[in-house]
C-alpha cells in the first residue's frame, strides 16, 4: 500500500517560493490501478516523483508498505526503489544500448548475474511483444515500441509498484490503447499496483479503478472512476470530463441539459422516449456513454429548442423516470 500523508512540496527559486503540492493525502491500495489526473502545471508529475523520492517532499510522509521512506538512509532507500518501477513520457532509454541491454540495465545495477539478467530481459520482451527486437537500438524503434521497452525495463526487478508519468502522452490513439491494455494485463496477471499520471480522462476511464483529481497543487476530489465520471463535484473534474470546447456557442437563447447515466439500463431508449413523451425535438450536442454489464454510464448534453414550455416538458419527463440532470450554462 502507498500512503501519502500531508504531503507538501515547495521549490525555492530566485524569484520566490513555488508551492507545487499542498497537504496531499492519498492512499493507493495494493493491486489496483490508481489514476492521478490534472491539467499541465497542476502538480501531478511532482506528486508521482515524490512517491519514490525522486523529488523529496518539503513536509509530510510517504509510507510504502507501512514504512515512511522519507526517514530511510540512502542504502535503505535504494532497496525500496527496486520495488518501485517507473516509466516516463519521454521513454528515457539509453541510446547507446540495444533493447535487451536497456532492459538489463536495472538488473546490472542490482548485481544480477549476466546470464540471469538476460533471461529475465527476454521473458519481459516476450511479455511486451518485442522478442524479435532485442538487438535493435532505440533509434530504430517506433514510439510505441520504445514505451514497451521502457515498461519491460521498469518490470526488470519484479517491482510491486509501477509509476507511469504521462506514459501515453507522446503516442497516437491506437498505440495509446495498446499500451493501456498492456498495463491492464500486467496489473491483472502479476498483481502489480499501478499509479497512472495523465491529463486525459480517456486514459483514466480505460484502465483505472480509482482516481484523484489534482488542481493548483491540491487534491480537488477523489473516488471511484465511475463515481467521478458520472457526478464530478469539482469544477476542474467537470472540465476534464466535459471540456467546454465540446459545447458550441453557435446557437443562442436555447437551453441545454446535461443528462447523467449512472446505471440506467443500456437497452432502454431514453432519448427516443423523451422526444415521444414530451413532444420536444431535442438535439444531442455531446454524448459520452459506456455500456458496462448491460448498464449505461456517462452523460449527454441536450439542446432544447425555444418554445412554450419545452424546457419544463423535458425536465418533467426526466423527473418522471428519475434520471439525473443539470442545466448547462
Q: How is the chain split into domains, by residue range? A: 2-240, 252-328
* Rounded-to-integer distance, Cα 253 and Cα 33, Å: 43
* Rounded-to-integer distance, Cα 328 and Cα 128, Å: 44
Q: Which candidate, 187, 201, 203, places its Cα nearest to that of 85?
A: 187
Q: Grid coordinates representing 104?
A: 538489463
Q: What is the pTM of this model?
A: 0.81
Asked which of 135-139, 218-222, 263-267, 315-319 is least confident by mean pLDDT, the reply is 263-267
Which residue shows C-alpha cell 437551453?
255
Q: Give start and end residues of each alpha helix (H) in 128-256.
A: 143-154, 173-190, 201-207, 225-230, 235-241
Would you say the CATH fold of 252-328 matches that of 2-240?
Answer: no
Which residue shows C-alpha cell 528515457?
92
Is 2-240 CATH 3.40.50.300? yes
Per-residue pLDDT averaged across 308-319, rounded? 90
What pLDDT does residue 244 have? 54
What pLDDT does residue 29 have? 95
Asked whether the predicted pLDDT for residue 176 surpasses 70, the reply is yes
* Rounded-to-integer distance, Cα 36 and Cα 44, Å: 7
What pLDDT does residue 243 have? 58
Strand order in the sheet with 210-215: 84-88, 161-165, 193-198, 33-37, 210-215, 218-224
What pLDDT does residue 245 have? 46
For 144-163, give one letter per residue: b (16+ CB within 10 A) or e. bbbbbbbbbbbbbbebbbbb
Mean pLDDT of the chain: 88
Asked which of 43-47, 142-146, 159-163, 321-325 is least confident by mean pLDDT, the reply is 321-325
Query: In the CATH scheme, what architecture does the domain 252-328 have?
Result: 2-Layer Sandwich (3.30)
Per-residue pLDDT averaged across 282-294, rounded? 77
Q: Grid coordinates representing 79?
A: 532497496
With a CB cutoff of 8 Å and minimum separation 6, the contacts of 101 are 94
pLDDT tens digits, 227-257: 887 778 888 887 787 655 455 554 455 788 8
* Rounded-to-integer distance, Cα 275 and Cα 313, Å: 10
Amino acid at each position: 500500500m502507498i500512503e501519502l500523508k500531508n504531503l507538501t512540496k515547495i521549490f525555492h527559486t530566485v524569484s520566490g517560493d513555488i508551492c507545487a503540492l499542498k497537504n496531499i493525502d492519498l492512499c493507493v491500495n495494493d493491486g489496483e490501478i490508481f489514476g492521478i489526473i490534472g491539467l499541465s502545471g497542476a502538480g501531478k508529475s511532482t506528486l508521482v516523483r515524490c512517491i519514490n523520492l525522486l523529488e523529496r517532499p518539503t513536509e509530510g510522509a510517504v509510507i510504502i508498505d507501512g514504512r515512511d521512506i522519507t526517514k530511510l538512509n540512502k542504502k535503505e532507500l535504494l532497496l525500496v526503489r527496486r520495488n518501485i518501477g517507473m516509466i516516463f513520457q519521454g521513454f528515457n532509454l539509453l541510446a547507446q544500448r540495444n533493447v535487451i541491454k536497456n532492459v538489463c540495465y536495472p538488473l546490472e545495477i542490482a548485481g544480477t548475474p549476466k546470464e540471469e539478467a538476460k533471461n529475465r530481459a527476454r521473458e519481459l520482451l516476450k511479455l511486451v511483444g518485442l522478442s524479435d527486437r532485442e538487438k535493435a537500438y532505440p533509434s530504430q524503434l517506433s514510439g510505441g515500441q520504445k514505451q514497451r521497452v521502457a515498461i519491460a525495463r521498469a518490470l526488470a526487478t519484479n517491482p510491486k509498484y509501477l509509476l507511469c508519468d504521462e506514459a501515453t502522452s507522446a503516442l497516437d490513439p491506437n498505440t495509446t490503447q495498446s499500451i493501456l491494455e498492456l498495463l491492464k494485463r500486467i496489473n491483472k496477471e502479476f498483481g502489480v499496483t499501478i499509479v497512472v499520471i495523465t491529463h486525459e480522462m480517456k486514459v483514466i476511464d480505460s484502465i483505472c479503478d480509482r482516481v484523484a483529481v489534482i488542481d493548483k497543487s491540491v487534491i480537488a476530489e477523489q473516488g471511484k472512476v465511475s463515481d467521478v465520471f458520472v457526478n464530478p463535484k469539482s469544477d476542474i473534474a467537470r472540465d476534464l470530463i466535459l471540456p467546454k470546447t465540446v459545447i458550441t456557442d453557435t446557437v443562442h437563447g436555447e437551453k441545454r441539459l446535461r443528462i447523467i447515466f449512472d446505471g440506467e439500463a443500456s437497452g432502454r431508449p431514453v432519448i427516443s422516449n423523451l422526444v415521444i413523451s414530451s413532444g420536444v425535438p431535442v438535439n444531442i450536442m455531446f454524448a459520452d456513454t459506456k455500456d458496462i454489464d448491460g448498464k449505461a454510464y456517462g452523460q449527454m448534453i441536450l439542446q432544447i429548442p425555444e418554445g412554450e414550455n419545452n424546457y419544463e416538458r423535458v425536465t418533467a419527463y426526466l423527473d418522471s423516470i428519475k434520471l439525473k440532470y443539470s442545466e448547462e450554462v
